[in-house]
């Protein structure tokens, strides 16, 4: 018969297996740097492991983990704001690589080029958002989280999440409309 520690270890292992891809995707979309996203994902899971026994179940495990990831991301940006952007532009996910993630296997070369240009425009628009707007935008449209989940993950009220999302959408649309 398994001990309580073995059961908790297995639960954490199962949680990591199911939640890790979503956390990594969010951090990759936020940072556009594969190595940094991997490092922050590992930091998130390590922090969660250390505090696993303190998880109270007041939210879903994914919401709890995403909150940790968001806080690590904020800490990173706060500590390296200017260096981060220089590093991201030099070592970020390439637009060519990101556009290959689009389902365009049957598209012509021209359609693929247009898709790559659209992806580049969207990323530039998202980079111009404030930190909170960018976080809310990415959680909503990359991770497809509901507004209530975003609110719990970020510690913001649902109304504040809606306001940031509305402003982010307006800025992205204005940026894309001007291209």
CA-based nearest residue to 127, from 67, 176, 179, 172: 172
Q: Is the pLDDT of residue 50 over 70?
A: yes
CA-based nearest residue to 45, from 73, 78, 13, 10: 13
Sign of the alpha-carbon torsion through 36, 42, 46, 48 = positive
End-to-end CA distance of the chain: 63
Q: What is the pLDDT of residues 70-129, one digit of tens each?
A: 999 888 877 765 453 444 445 445 555 555 555 545 567 777 777 778 878 888 888 889
DSSP notation for 153-171: HHT--HHHHHHHHHHHHHH
pLDDT at 105: 52
CA-based nearest residue to 69, from 16, 38, 23, 31: 23
Would you list the domain boundaries of the chain?
A: 1-93
Share the mean pLDDT of the chain: 81
DSSP notation for 48-112: HHHTGGG---SS-HHHHHHHHHHHHHHHHHHHHHHHHHHHHHHHSPPHHHHHHTSS-TTS-HHHH
What is the band of 13 on the pLDDT scale with cuts at 50, 70, 90? confident
State how far the alpha carbon of 124 is from the alpha carbons of 7, 58, 129, 146, in Å: 45, 36, 9, 24
Given a contact cutoff of 8 angstroms between Cβ atoms, the answer to whether 23 and 17 are in contact is no
pLDDT at 64: 92
State how far the alpha carbon of 146 is from the alpha carbons of 6, 39, 68, 165, in Å: 33, 26, 18, 12
Would residue 35 be called left, alpha or beta, if left means φ above 0 and alpha means ψ between -120 and 50 degrees?
Answer: alpha
- The span from the CA of 70 to the CA of 176, in Å, is 26
Which CATH code is given to the segment(s) 1-93?
1.10.1740.10
């Amino acid at each position: 018969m398994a001990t309580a520690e073995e059961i908790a270890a297995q639960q954490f292992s199962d949680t990591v297996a199911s939640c890790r891809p979503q956390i990594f995707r969010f951090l990759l979309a936020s940072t556009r740097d594969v190595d940094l996203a991997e490092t922050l994902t590992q930091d998130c899971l390590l922090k969660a492991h250390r505090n696993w026994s303190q998880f109270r179940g007041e939210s879903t495990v994914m919401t709890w983990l995403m909150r940790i990831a968001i806080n690590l991301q904020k800490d990173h940006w706060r500590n390296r704001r200017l260096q981060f952007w220089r590093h991201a532009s030099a070592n970020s996910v390439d637009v060519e690589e990101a556009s290959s993630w689009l389902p365009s296997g049957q598209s012509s070369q021209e359609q693929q080029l247009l898709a790559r240009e659209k992806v580049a425009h969207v990323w530039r628009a998202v980079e111009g958002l404030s930190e909170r707007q960018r976080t809310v935008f990415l959680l909503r449209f990359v991770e497809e989280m509901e507004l209530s989940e975003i609110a719990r993950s970020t510690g913001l009220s649902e109304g504040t999440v809606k306001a940031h999302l509305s402003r982010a959408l307006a800025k992205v649309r204005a940026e894309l409309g001007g291209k």
